[in-house]
Amino acid sequence: MASSFVRGLKCRLCGKMYPVSPINFCEDDFGPLEVDYDYEAIGEVISREKISLRPKTMWRYQELLPLEGEPTVGLQVGGTPLVKADRLAAALGVEKLWVKNDAVNFPTLSFKDRVVAVALSKAREFGFTTVGCASTGNLANSVAANAAAAGLQACILVPADLERTKILNTSVYGARVVAVQGTYDEVNRLCQQIADRYNWGLVNINLRPFYAEGSKTFGYEIAEDLGWRLPQHVVSPMAGGSLIGKIRKAFWELAQVGLLEETPVRFHGAQAMGCNPITEMVKSGREAHRPVRKPNTIAKSLAIGDPADGYFAGKVIRETGGWAEDVSDAEISEAMALLAKSEGIFAETAGGVTVAVARKLIEQGRIPRHEEIVLCITGNGLKTQDAVVEQLRQPVKIRPSMDDFAPLIEEVGELALV
């Protein structure tokens, strides 16, 4: 089932083609490069039936991913649930709502396992033995775990002020972790220099065109689980601004290769107020973002002040008739608790951003209450527990006696007595 459908890398600004290699920028205009496929040829070999017979992982859409041979890293990634969220829908005052839940993606509980599975499989095709990344946390976890499982060396750079859990969840896999005293954007610039100096496969630097393709599988799974059709609204969190555009590309590709009929989907972008370069750009009607120099939010996984795909994310939102909003830290933690209480899904801060922004857009009338909505939940709350602590009631302490227990129930009257 090897994929020979890749025609090369194509500049997203000028369209210039490059051969498949570990590069990420066009030499003429510094435009980002993107994988270019022969969709006609893919359309001839792919079918719903064929896909449905394959294991429920991201690799069931392998023809639409940029590997030459079989995947060798992250074989079990993807296939996460699309949850019909009726209780959250009631709380938000809408009728048809789904949660695409990558909080339970294997192996590191975020959608980053999808991009890393592609990037590290590609790194092996290129012959790299050391891999790495610049990360706001989840990517670090995923590169470290998947590299360990694949027997690759990993060197990972993160901002020094990251949540303790995200650092621990990287170090545990034996990766070399470097905590840089600076913002994510400074970490990222350092990583670009590292890529120039060492022969390493840095997943979101020189492997970025391949890495980014992994996000498409989040979109393919939404469409397949809806019965091979598209929702009317998607609300996606944005950090570098890549995921939102890749979900749109995924929907478009499924139509290109004849797997579904394309219907209009509005894409809405979600950020935190403390780091909102893309939402601020959309709301003020500009086509270029103003970088946020010092991000300040509990949603650290989204804290990229100078997003690489900010321009393209804005374009997706404008072209599809969607909108963008940002929310406060208080709204984020409250929405994390709401999602947990209504659907039993504990998402990280980025999930709180998505739910809180969805609520805002519904209240503004930007998302009509009777239309179909998919919320993108991209990471797990167990990694950002401090963000929700203040929302929770402390357990009541009692002695092991009915004299202590019964008054709690009978006087407060919160639990129904049978």
Ligand X SMILES: *Cc1c(COP(=O)(O)O)cnc(C)c1O
Query: Binding residues for Zn ion, per CB under 5 A?
Result: 11, 13-14, 16, 26, 28-29, 31
261 binds, among Zn ion, ligand X, none (CB under 5 to 8 A by kind): none
Residue 219 interacting with ligand X (CB under 6 A): no
Number of residues that bind ligand X (CB under 6 A): 16
Interface with ligand X (CB under 6 A), residue from 85, 134, 175, 243: 243
x/- binding map, residues 73-112, to ligand X, per CB under 6 A?
-------------------------------------x-x
Interface with ligand X (CB under 6 A), residue from 119, 120, 239, 324: 239
Spatial distance between the Cα atoms of 282 and 277, rounded to a whole number of angstroms: 9
- Nearer CB in complex with ligand X: 257/380: 380
x/- binding map, residues 301-320, to ligand X, per CB under 6 A?
xx------------------
- The minimum distance between CB 105 and ligand X, in angstroms, equals 10
Interface with ligand X (CB under 6 A), residue from 62, 108, 242, 297: 242
Which one of 1-9, 223-231, 239-247, 404-412 is the stretch in contact with ligand X (CB under 6 A)? 239-247
Interface with ligand X (CB under 6 A), residue from 24, 146, 378, 384: 378
Non-local (6+) Cβ contacts of 394 within 8 A are none
- Nearer CB in complex with ligand X: 5/163: 163
User: Which of the residues 49 through 78 are near ligand X (CB under 6 A)?
Assistant: none
Spatial distance between the Cα atoms of 201 and 146, rounded to a whole number of angstroms: 13
- The minimum distance between CB 383 and ligand X, in angstroms, equals 9
User: Which of the residues 128 through 187 are near ligand X (CB under 6 A)?
Assistant: 138
Non-local (6+) Cβ contacts of 53 within 8 A are none
- The minimum distance between CB 15 and Zn ion, in angstroms, equals 7
- Count Cβ neighbours within 10 Å for each residue of 284-315 and write b for 16 or more, e otherwise: eeeeebeebeebebbbbbbbbbbbbbbbbbbb
- The minimum distance between CB 212 and ligand X, in angstroms, equals 8
29 binds, among ligand X, Zn ion, none (CB under 5 to 8 A by kind): Zn ion
- Nearer CB in complex with Zn ion: 13/104: 13
- The minimum distance between CB 118 and ligand X, in angstroms, equals 13
Interface ranges with ligand X (CB under 6 A) = 110, 112, 138, 237-243, 301-302, 348, 350, 378-379
